[in-house]
Amino acid sequence: MEEGAIFIADVHYRPGDRWIEEKFSHLLQLSPPQLFLVGDIFHLLVNLPPVIEKNRRLIEIISKIADKIPTFYLEGNHDFNLETIFPTLQVGEGVWDKGQNIKVTHGDWGEGWGYALYTKIIRSPLFLTPFRWKLLSPLTNWIIDKILQKPIKCSPIPNFIDQILTKKRWEGTLIEGHYHQRVKW
């Protein structure tokens, strides 16, 4: 990781949010040495045509950024299966700089077996297949719209350090999003 890299997480972009589009466009002027998108940049982005179309403006802005700035997209629980959407970005679940002992992930790892199973199911190509069927397109569009309208919880987790971070067992620097705590440590 290079000095001056920018890390962005949990933006939860919804189609038409011009403020977010402008902020991302401004990154081209800042020209950081690296950009890390640390998951949930979109409120919903999966490899389904209607979802891609709804998010096209920010997808295009991020793609332009990646043409000029080395960009890493670490998938979250709202944006995944992104390799074909962002073919010029380095897409994955996390980055580990062994030399500096820095790990960067979205943050939704270590949540227990139930959550691990849930995320494995929703990320499965088999799970998304029925949503591609023309017959189900009205239902698919209805589900997409409902997800895009769902509010994001931003309430502090009591004893966050003890409840969450001690479970992670990482010896080094850990950079994550996911928890929406609105506090600084």
pTM of the model: 0.79
**What are the structural domain ranges in the chain?**
6-175
Tell me, what's the pLDDT at 128? 81
3-state secondary structure the chain: CCCCCEEECCCCECCCCHHHHHHHHHHHHHCCCCEEECCCCECCECCCHHHHHHCHHHHHHHHHHHHHCCEEEECCCCECCCCCCCCCCEEECEEEECCCCEEEECCCCCCCHHHHHHHHHHCCHHHHHHHHCHHHHHHHHHHHHHHHHCCCCCCCCCCHHHHHHHHHCCCCEEECCCCCCCCCC
Tell me, what's the pLDDT at 169? 62
Give the orientation angle of helix 18-30 with respect to helix 56-68, to 10 degrees.
10
Tens of pLDDT along the chain (185 residues)? Answer: 788 999 998 889 999 999 999 999 999 889 899 999 988 899 999 998 999 999 999 999 999 999 999 999 988 888 888 999 999 888 877 766 667 767 777 666 667 678 778 888 888 888 888 777 777 788 888 988 898 888 887 767 677 666 666 665 667 676 667 666 555 54
User: Does residue 63 contact residue 135 with C-beta atoms inside 8 Å?
Assistant: no
Type of residue numbered 60: E
The whole-angstrom separation of Cα 140 and Cα 7 is 32
Tell me, what's the pLDDT at 161? 65
The whole-angstrom separation of Cα 121 and Cα 137 is 21
Tell me, what's the pLDDT at 167? 62
Q: What is the side-by-side strand order in the sheet with 94-97?
A: 94-97, 102-105, 173-175
The second-level CATH assignment, the architecture, of 6-175 is: 4-Layer Sandwich (3.60)
Tell me, what's the pLDDT at 39? 85
Biggest CA–CA distance in the chain, Å, is 51
